[in-house]
Amino acid sequence: MIKSILFFFIFLMSCSNHTSIPKPKAFLYNEVSVPNYVFYKSNCGYSFFINSENQIDFENCNMKIKNSSLNSVLYLSSINIKDNFSLIDSDFTKKIQENSINAFAVNVSEYNDVENRVFAKYFSFVGNTPSNTQFYITDSTSVYLKGSLYFDSKPNYDSLIPSIHLINNDIRKMIQTFNWK
């Protein structure tokens, strides 16, 4: 009899409306400060403003712009145009198509400064893509500078959104302040 009362008591206590919810996974959070932009002048005939927190590795007119606080690298490759602009541009378009396979959407914007001969096209990918941002800057006659943003982590767009927005603002600043010598 005591066993049945004890069993009945345990049974009643276990039938509560309280459900336990597992703790959700934690995602990357970066606390960043307001960017401070500084003037950068390359040895390859161009200049722009860049976030002062970035570190630049420069080799043969190609650059790696590293942001260690966001764990990202922006690769800039310089290509000399020798009557092959359409070939270079079609190669860039092919890379955009390859990168957009896992993207939900691709946002495109252009920047044209005819007076200073700065023409740029900017692609931002929504989704788990290898490169979240790709762009090019050209004078359309002699130099084609293409850029790609990569993070040193597995592509997880939801957790990278704040970092992507911060770096995309830096890239927009770079494009809008870009000048050829």
Q: Show the domains of the chain with their CATH numbers.
A: 45-180 (3.40.1000.10)
What's this model's pTM, rounded to 2 decimal places? 0.79
More confident residue, 16 or 40: 40
Is the pLDDT assigned to residue 28 strictly greater than 60?
no
Asked whether residue 31 carries a pLDDT value surpassing 70, the answer given is no
Q: Which helix (H) or strand (E) holds 55?
A: strand 55-59
Question: How far lies 71's CA from each of 13, 28, 30, in Å?
Answer: 50, 11, 10
- On whether the CB atoms of residues 147 and 135 are closer than 8 A, the answer is yes
The Cα 85–Cα 144 span in angstroms is 8
pLDDT digits (tens, 9 = 90+) for 155-168: 778 788 888 899 99
- Which percentage of the chain shows pLDDT scores above 90? 44
CB 38 within 8 A of CB 50: yes
